[in-house]
Amino acid sequence: MMRVTKPDATALRKHSGYENWRPAIIGVTVLALVGVDSLVLPCLMGGLVLPTGAVEDGQSPEDAAQLVLTGMPGGLPIQRRVAVDEVQTRRRKVISHLVVTAPLAAEEAQCLVYRDARADMGVLRTSQAVSRLTEPARARALLGLQALAINAMVYNRNGAIEHLESAPAA
């Protein structure tokens, strides 16, 4: 007869990896389009950033995006989610949903307020905006813009595109 024993918890901790010691961080990034060739970007402490925020428990990424950029009557016109970016850090997973808005008029873009009051909002041509972003933000913005252009939903895990599918019909 074979005897089954439970593994020692201390031994498991010594040999297990550092993954997921803490709950995952889930966030949302908004690409606010202005017309066909511009983006709304906050300038925070001298640098351009993509508008981001947290997704709380029980909240959809689209609902969380409404809290990232405010000021429009009726809320931000979210078009769809274009990418999910997942990165495993040493102790936890970071998941970021990338959503795009329907194209805004220049007057609507002027009304937008970022969740961090220290930021100055600006509208820049897409090529100019992308070139001024940091490398990780640039990669995320380009991934989202490309997914929007080909009407796809992209799943990016640890810097590699894991899955690409057609966007659901609206």
Domain of 155: which CATH number?
3.90.79.10
Give the pLDDT score at 111. 92
Give the pLDDT score at 92. 86
What mean pLDDT do residues 98-108 have? 95
Q: How far apart are CA 50 and CA 139, in angstroms?
A: 11
Give the pLDDT score at 163. 77
Q: Judge whether 53 and 27 are in contact, CB under 8 Å.
A: yes
In this structure, is residue 149 part of a structural domain?
Answer: yes
In this structure, is residue 41 part of a structural domain?
Answer: yes
In this structure, is residue 1 part of a structural domain?
Answer: no
Residue range 108-164, pLDDT digits in tens: 999 999 999 899 999 999 999 999 999 999 999 999 999 999 999 999 998 888 878
Nearest to residue 120, comparing CAs of 51, 36, 38, 73?
Answer: 51
Q: Are strands 160-166 and 152-157 parallel, antiparallel or unpaired?
A: antiparallel
In this structure, is residue 42 part of a structural domain?
Answer: yes
> The tokens of 128 are what?
């100019």
Residue range 43-96, pLDDT digits in tens: 998 899 999 999 999 999 999 999 999 999 889 999 999 999 998 888 889 999
How many CB atoms within 10 Å of residue 48? 21
In this structure, is residue 80 part of a structural domain?
Answer: yes
For residues 31, 32, 34 and 38, what is the CA-based torsion angle, rounded to 10 degrees? -30
How many CB atoms within 10 Å of residue 8? 9
> The tokens of 100 are what?
């795009």
2 has pLDDT over 60: no
Which range of residues forms the domain containing residue 25? Answer: 19-166
Q: Are strands 93-101 and 78-88 parallel, antiparallel or unpaired?
A: antiparallel
Give the pLDDT score at 162. 82
How many domains does the chain contain in total?
1
In this structure, is residue 65 part of a structural domain?
Answer: yes
Give the pLDDT score at 16. 46
Give the pLDDT score at 88. 87
> The tokens of 114 are what?
């970022």
9 has pLDDT over 60: no
Nearest to residue 139, comparing CAs of 102, 99, 85, 90?
Answer: 85
Residue 169 confidence class, pLDDT cut points 50, 70, 90: low
